[in-house]
Amino acid sequence: MGQAIGDVTVPDLSVDIAGIKLVNPVMTASGTFGYGEEFAPYVDLNGLGAVVVKGISLQPKPGNPTPRIVETAAGMLNSIGLQNIGVERFVEEKLPFLSGFGTRVIVNFFGDSIDEYRELAAVLDGADGISALEMNISCPNKEEGWLEFGTRPELTYRVVNEIKKRLRLPLIVKLSPNVTDITTIARAAEDGGADALSLINTLSGMAVDIETRRARLANVIGGLSGPAIKPVALKMVWQVFNAVKLPVIGIGGIMTYEDALEFMMVGASAVQVGTANFIDPEVSIKIVEGMKEYLVNKCILRIRDLVGVLESEYD
Amino acid sequence: MVARVIYNKEVLPTYYLLGLGYGGRTAPSPGQFYMLKVNRGIDPFLRRPFGAYRVIRPDNGEDAVEILYKVVGKGTMLMSELCPGDGVDLLGPLGRGFHLHGGRGKHIMVAGGVGIVPFYILAERLICQEAGRAVLLFGGRGKEDLPGLGDFGKLGLVVKVATDNGEVGRRCLVTELLADEITGDSVVYACGPKGMLREVAGIAAEKNVPCYVSLDRVMACGVGACLGCAVRVALPPSYAEHEEGRMDVQPYKMVCRDGPVFDSREIEWDKL
């Protein structure tokens, strides 16, 4: 009270995540914003805290058979199959465009073996214009009977540790919600050396066409996203926030600034907006503006003062 | 961008014509589409793609882009309830439309039902460019399945109709009209049900003439980001020898960004 440390009409939206400073806490989630250029005609990329690009692998991946997406209640299922152009073309063709903006570039990457993760991380670590890496560990490990890295603490620890010890860039580890206890995976990632955690990836799900008796996705199973998963995501962010010391990035069904603030109050230092980009390319910018207005109205100077403020008691 | 509804009228049972205020926007080229969000809430959740039917520029009054649509589900049902003055969130025009072959002989447009949508602007363009003879072959179940038919008569091109029940035109499939109409100097443009498109592509291939098809796919973003609206494209024979993960040829194209119009020879019809 009474300390003249800032102007309440110009709140400070900046946050620090994994040693990098973002102008605001709103990023676009991997796989929902392409390589940035797809959305550049519709939204000012400079207004975003960061762009997290579509997941990259060492070699190009063709993606899954179709149908690949289906709308569900308050959300959608997708099984794109991690289609991407591979790291070589990404660095040559996509990265220079994105680096031209004021926004931070975070590159999501994945592999099917520790060797692939390692080789890929080394290439990205040597590229210009990347602020951090986000590691997708929700993919099968070919050396462990195609078990997903992110479903076993020991696998999570090993892959994070192997990558982090050779890495110059900050490492964000993206967690899968399709586990018995996400806090054990979060701790394993922390022990492995992660600089931050982002969660949640999509929830595993399916849908059926009762006329044809077929699954609505060619891959049968897909990942559920959108407002339908927000309560689950909030709970997991809260659990992880209370289980680790690392900064947490909240993801899952964010459509509005109110949604984003819920995530920050349960412990997220920043958020990623995903499926909402498909409906409104400008949604992330609107969320930033909404946050600013909220802070002004509540006379709060810094957005980071809201992180983890969830009250535990009811009067 | 929010566009204002000028009119929204039923032109045939289940077919509607939506006129949206259009001041100052980029005009759609033949075959382009818009992603529309007609409701504020999350049910339906995603935008839906709709082809641009026509641009109206009245002497007095507002320019309008027209969306001709068929009520098939919840989203289009809500759309049919839109009233003048309502707002519709419009993203576009999007995608790559029809490639115009200037000067070649006979331009044959083949439409099935609501597949008529991209052909009004295309026909206007063909007539305007004096690109040769333009013919529209329009197929439907009956007379109530031929939306916009009257509009095309006024354009001054040859229109031939096929219906399943013989109410209008010939009692046959529109592809049979094509088989009669096609010549060695034709260019074929088609939009309609999958089976029709495949048949059209086959007829064009037999005559060895260019054929462009406009595809409809479920899509989430419309701008090439979600990669949901993929279609399998025909690959060189060497493809099979590549290990899936290591190839440099991408076997999928996106309907929203690479299409919605494709050269029919590109499409892997068995996998569509």
For residue range A176-228, what is the model confidence (pLDDT) as tens digits? 999 999 999 999 999 999 999 999 999 999 999 999 999 999 999 999 999 99
- Report whether B170 contacts B93 (CB < 8 A): no
Chain A residues with beta carbon closer than 8 angstroms to that of B245:
57, 59-61
Distance from CA of A178 to the nearest CA of B (A): 22
- Three-state DSSP state, B223: coil
pLDDT tens by residue, B162-184: 999 999 999 999 999 999 999 99
Chain length of chain B:
272
Three-state secondary-structure class, residue B60: coil
Chain A residues with at least one Cβ partner in B under 8 Å: 31-34, 38-39, 42, 54, 57, 59-63, 65-76, 78, 80, 83, 85, 226-227, 255, 275, 277-281
Task: Kindly tell me the sign of the dihedral angle through the C-alpha atoms of A287, A185, A34, A279.
Answer: negative
Report the catalytic residues of A.
139
Question: Which of A246-260, B90-104, B225-239 is the most confident on average?
Answer: A246-260
Please state which of the ranges A24-28, A310-314, B80-84, B160-164 shows the lowest mean pLDDT. A310-314
Residue A196 to residue A174: CA distance in whole angstroms: 9
Tell me, what's the pLDDT at B249?
61
Q: Which residues lie closer than 8 Å to B240 by C-beta, 6 or more apart?
A: none
User: Which amino acid would we find at residue A198?
Assistant: S
Residue A223 in tokens: 């990942």
Residue of A30, A71, A280 to mutate when probing chain B, most B C-beta within 10 A: A71
| A58 vs A141: CA distance, rounded Å | 15
Beta bridge partners of A205: A222
Residue A57 lies in a domain: yes
In a domain, A161, yes or no: yes
Quick count: other Cβ atoms within 10 Å of Cβ B100?
18
Q: Are B34 and B92 spatial neighbours (Cβ–Cβ below 8 Å)?
A: yes
Domain count of the fold of chain A: 1
Residue from the list B44, B221, B250 with its beta carbon closest to the beta carbon of A62: B250
Report how far residue B181's alpha carbon sits from residue B179's, in angstroms, rounded to the nearest whole number.
Answer: 6
Q: What is the Cα–Cα distance from B13 to B10, expressed in whole angstroms? A: 7
Are A76 and B220 an interchain contact pair (Cβ–Cβ within 8 Å)?
yes
**Segment A283-311, tens digit of pLDDT:** 999 999 999 999 999 999 999 999 999 99
SS3 state at B65 = strand
What whole-number distance in Å separates Cα of residue B169 and Cα of residue B110? 14
Asked if residue A175 lies in contact with residue A197, where contact means CB atoms within 8 angstroms, the answer is yes
pLDDT surpassing 70 at residue A3: no
Distance from CA of A26 to the nearest CA of B (A): 19
Angstrom distance (rounded) from CA A26 to CA B126: 47
Q: Which residue would you say has higher pLDDT here, B25 or B164? A: B164
Q: Please tell me the predicted confidence (pLDDT) of residue B57.
A: 85
CB A30 within 8 A of CB A52: yes
| pLDDT, tens digit (0-9, with 9 covering 90-100), for A62-95 | 999 999 999 999 999 999 999 999 999 999 999 9
Does A166 fall in a domain?
Answer: yes
Question: B5-18: string of b/e by CB count within 10 Å (b at 16+)?
Answer: bbebeeebebbbbb
One-letter amino acid for residue B272 of the chain: L
Q: What is the pLDDT of residues B42-54, one digit of tens each?
A: 999 999 999 999 9
CATH number of the domain that residue A132 is part of: 3.20.20.70
Q: How far is CA A211 from CA A75, A215, B195, in A?
A: 22, 11, 19
Domain that holds residue A284: 3-64+82-203+226-306
Could you tell me if residue A69 is inside a domain?
Answer: no
- Say if A72 falls within a structural domain: no
How high is the pLDDT of residue B50? Answer: 98
| pLDDT tens digits along B87-144 | 999 999 999 999 887 666 899 999 999 999 999 999 999 988 876 789 999 999 999 9
* Residue in the block written with tokens 């063909």: B126
Confidence check: pLDDT of B246 > 50: no
- Indicate the pLDDT class of residue B237, thresholds 50, 70 and 90: low
Number of continuous H segments (helices) and E segments (strands) in chain A:
9, 18
Interchain contact, A59 vs B223, CB within 8 Å: no
Which neighbouring-strand residues pair with B212? Answer: B189, B263
The better pLDDT of the pair B251, B58 is held by: B251
Tokens of A97: 């465009």
CB-defined contacts A:B, below 8 A? 98
**How confident is the model over B16-28, as a mean pLDDT?**
89
Strand partners for A44: none
Helices then strands, each counted (H, E), chain B: 5, 16
The predicted pLDDT at position B238 comes to 55
Question: Burial level of B130, CB count in 10 A (0-12/13-18/19+)?
Answer: exposed
What are the tokens at B141? 């179940």
- At residue A6, the pLDDT reads 67
State the pLDDT at residue A2: 43
Q: What is the mean pLDDT of residues A126-147?
A: 90
Q: Which of A9-13, A20-24, A106-110, A307-311 has the lowest mean pLDDT?
A: A9-13
Largest Cα–Cα separation, chain A: 67
| CB neighbours of residue A280 within 10 Å | 18
- Rounded Cα gap, residues A198 and A247, in angstroms: 9
pLDDT of residue B103: 65
pLDDT, tens only, B186-230: 999 999 999 999 999 999 999 999 999 999 999 999 999 999 999
Q: Output Rg (C-alpha) for chain B, integer angstroms.
A: 19
Select the residue from B219, B252, B268 to test the A interface by mutation, using most A Cβ atoms within 10 A.
B252
A87 falls within a domain:
yes
Q: Which tokens go with B221? A: 């973003």
Q: Note whether residue A246 is domain-resident.
A: yes
Chain B residues with beta carbon closer than 8 angstroms to that of A34: 223-225
What's the whole-model pTM score? Answer: 0.94
Buried-exposed string A97-107: b where 16+ CB fall within 10 A, e elsewhere: ebeebebbbbb
CA distance B37 to B21: 15
pLDDT confidence bin for A237, thresholds 50/70/90: very high
Does residue B189 contact residue B107 with C-beta atoms inside 8 Å? yes
Share of chain B above pLDDT 90, in %: 78
Res. B235 pLDDT band, cuts 50 70 90: confident
> Quick one: what percent of chain A has pLDDT higher than 90?
92
Pairing of strands B106-112, B133-140: parallel
pLDDT tens column, A142-161: 888 788 999 999 999 999 99
The pLDDT, as a whole number, for residue A145 is: 79
Say if residue A231's pLDDT is above 60. yes
In a domain, A313, yes or no: no
Sheet of B2-12, strand order = B48-51, B33-37, B87-94, B2-12, B15-21, B64-70, B54-56
Residue in chain B lying closest to A81 (CA): B227
Which chain A residue's Cα is nearest to B89? A280
Minimal-distance CA residue of chain B relative to A253: B42
* Mean pLDDT of the residues in chain B: 91
| Contacts of B143 by beta carbon, 8 Å cutoff, 6+ apart | B163, B167, B168
Pair of tokens at residue B258: 């690479």
